[in-house]
Amino acid sequence: MPLEQIWVDANYKETELKNVRIGQPVTLISDFYGRGVKYTGHVVGLAPSTGAAFSLLPPDEGSGNWIKIMQRVPVRIVFDPKELDEFPLRIGLSMKTTIDTKDLSGAKLTTATAEGPMLATDIYSNEWAEATKFVRNLVATNLQAVSSFGGLSSLAAPPSSTHTTASQ
């Protein structure tokens, strides 16, 4: 992940999203640098569902009692790239975000769909070649060891033993 292209997924309560629109400006403060460094960015999208809807094990109240739980919806925010050059961030840091909701002209939901991957890396491109080379060397070494013991047929058959009985 290129660190100059990172974003924030801010999880806002469902009651806080009424006036959030795509394109609105955002002020961000990282716990990493503290209040002395403020980033600017803008909203690029709102998730189509809450985090719980796509979780591996969604919450389920099986007792029959209904309990209202405030849901959170991810809001994707991108940074001004110049600020990231001066104060680089790391993936997974905590941020405080404030969205300026004065301008309500933007869309409420993201309408664009991705045509392909947004980012790509070739970090694993050599992985299969190296794994194949390792396996071939391992098989060749094992075959060589087996042949020094007389081949595969000697390993497959149990050793023969001679048993004689004495009679009087």
Q: Residue 83 has what pLDDT?
A: 83
Domain boundaries, the chain: 3-54+67-99
Q: What are phi and psi of 15, to 5 degrees?
A: -75, -10
Could you give the C-alpha distances from 76 to 45, 69, 79, 126, in angstroms and in order? 5, 22, 10, 33
What does the pLDDT look like over 21-68, one tens digit per residue?
Answer: 999 999 999 999 999 999 999 999 888 777 677 677 766 666 666 667
Three-state DSSP state, 30: strand
Query: What integer is the mean pLDDT of 78-85?
Result: 84
What per-residue confidence (pLDDT) applies to 58? 63
CATH H-level, domain 3-54+67-99: superfamily:
Efflux pump adaptor protein, beta barrel domain (2.40.30.170)
Q: What is the pTM of this model?
A: 0.60
